[in-house]
Amino acid sequence: MKTLVWVEHEGGAVKDATLSAVTAAAKLGEVHLLVAGESVAGVAEAAAKIAGVGKVHVADDAALGHALAENVAPLVVQLMADHDAFVVPATSNGKNIAPRVAALLDVMQISDILSVEGEDMFTRPIYAGNAIATVKSKDAKKVITVRGTAFEKAASEGGSGTVESVTSTGDAGLSSFVGAEIAKLERPELTSAKVIVSGGRALKDGETFEQLIFPLADKLGAAVGASRAAVDAGYVPNDYQVGQTGKIVAPEVYIAVGISGAIQHLAGMKDSKTIIAINKDEDAPIFQVADIGLVGDLFKVVPELTEKL
Partner 1 sequence: MKILVPVKRVIDYNVKPRVKADGTGVDLANVKMSMNPFDEIAVEEAIRLKEKGAASEVVVVSIGVAKAQETLRTALAMGADRAILIQTDDEVEPLGVAKLLAKVQEEEGAGLIILGKQAIDDDSNQTGQMLAALLGRPQGTFASKVEMEGDAVSVTREVDGGLETVKLTTPAIITTDLRLNEPRYASLPNIMKAKSKPLANKMPADYGVDISPRLETVSVAEPAKRSAGVKVADVDELVAKLKSMGVAA
Least distance in angstroms from the C-beta of 145 to partner 1: 8
Number of CB atoms found within 10 A of residue 182's CB: 7
Minimum CB distance to partner 1, residue 132 (Å): 5
From the CB of 249, what's the least distance to partner 1, in Å? 12
Of 31 and 196, which CB lies nearer to partner 1 in the complex structure?
Answer: 196
Contact 87, 2 (CB under 8 A): no
Residue 129 and residue 266 in contact, taking contact as beta carbons nearer than 8 Å: yes
- State which residue, 10 or 205, has the beta carbon closest to partner 1: 10
Q: How far is the CB of 247 from partner 1 (least distance, A)?
A: 8
Q: What are phi and psi of 259, to 5 degrees?
A: -115, 125
Q: Given the complex with partner 1, which of 7 and 48 has the nearer CB atom?
A: 7
Q: Which is nearer to partner 1, 104 or 155 (CB)?
A: 104
- State the minimum distance, in angstroms, from the CB of residue 22 to partner 1: 19
Q: In whole angstroms, how far apart are CA 225 and each of 13, 163, 247, 249, 293?
A: 24, 38, 9, 10, 18
Q: Which residues lie below 8 Å from residue 62, measured CB to CB, with a gap of 6+? A: 38
Nearest residue (CB) to partner 1, 31 versus 105 = 105
Q: Residue 3's beta-bridge partner residues? A: 31, 85
Instruction: Give me the helices (H) in 30-68, please.
Output: 41-48
